[in-house]
Amino acid sequence: MIHPKIFVLSAPSGAGKSTLIRRILPKVSNLVFSISATTRKPRPMEQDGREYFFKSKEEFLHMIENDELAEWQEVFGNYYGTPKSFITGNIAKGNSLILDIDVYGKTKLDKVFPENVGIFITAPSVGEITNRLASRKTESAEDLAKRVAKAEEEIAYATTKGNYKYTIVNNILDDAEIELLDIIKSEHGKENGK
Ligand code: ADP
Ligand code: 5GP
């Protein structure tokens, strides 16, 4: 029997957060990925309802008006938000959630779900983040530059105001995965707030 938790994972873009989430999800039972809504266009391998609920700007604004989102944020020129019902529905079923949201979204989420467990993932350096984003080849040169420019700001925010309980430096991927699994396992054994 686990204590269901809301795990909030944030990272500068390119640190390896999606890779880590993909790796751990099949290894932990009762752990569900919180599917955000976004106005960003899908990347080639992404599917609607799997990585994101892909929305038009009008649909997204409608979700805000209807108070359907626990938090939302404009990131890199697109809207991203966490559907409330997805979280409450899974907690009611005894599942834990992994939320992949940016550092400012985490601050907003703290007001709605203050019991969330923050995990900040970073890379050994901004240079390494740049290399990883370049090798991922999913962004235009302009979008890549925006993401790198924001990385230092996000790292500074997360370490001073972000209220993250844990930080993982994703250097060797296998080690970072073990660290993340250990955190989740240990948190599953604790009651909320302990
Ligand atoms: P994020 O979701 O944080 O933006 P990704 O998970 O997409 O980042 O990772 C960015 C790129 O870096 C991907 O091509 C991924 O395969 C690679 N990557 C992830 N972790 C590592 C690591 N520890 N060492 C080297 N490359 C990595
Ligand atoms: P990407 O476009 O690479 O999938 O995500 C870009 C950024 O948006 C990442 O930092 C990611 O964590 C963040 N993000 C994704 N979904 C949400 C969300 O629902 N809310 C907030 N605040 N940020 C999100």
Per-residue pLDDT tens listing for the chain (194 residues) = 789 999 999 999 999 999 999 999 999 999 999 999 999 999 989 999 999 999 999 999 999 999 999 999 998 889 999 999 999 999 999 999 999 999 999 999 999 999 999 999 999 999 999 999 999 988 899 999 999 999 989 999 999 988 999 999 999 999 999 999 999 999 999 987 66
Name the residue with the closest Cα to ligand 1, atom 27: 16
Sign of dihedral through CA atoms 26, 102, 149, 142? positive
State how far the Cα of 115 lies from the Cα of 118, in Å rounded to an integer: 9
Residue 193 maps to a domain: no
Provide the β-strand partners of residue 97. Answer: 6, 32
Ligand 2 pocket member 73 (CB < 6 A): yes
Residue 163 maps to a domain: yes
Question: Residue 32 sits in which domain range?
Answer: 6-188
What 3-state class would DSSP assign to 159? helix
Residue 194 maps to a domain: no
The structure's pTM equals 0.94
CA of 131 to the centre of ligand 1 (A): 9
Is 167:110 a contact under the CB 8 Å cutoff? no
CA distances to 33, 66, 70, 97 from 83, in Å: 12, 11, 6, 12
Residue 184 maps to a domain: yes
State how far the Cα of 95 lies from the Cα of 58, in Å rounded to an integer: 31
Ligand nearest to the CA of 151: 2
Residue 15 maps to a domain: yes
Residue 171 maps to a domain: yes
The CATH number given to whatever domain includes residue 63 is: 3.40.50.300
Residue 82 Ramachandran class (φ > 0 left, ψ -120 to 50 alpha, else beta): beta
Domain count for the chain? 1
Ligand 2 atom nearest the C-alpha of 76 is 6
Ligand 2 pocket member 34 (CB < 6 A): no
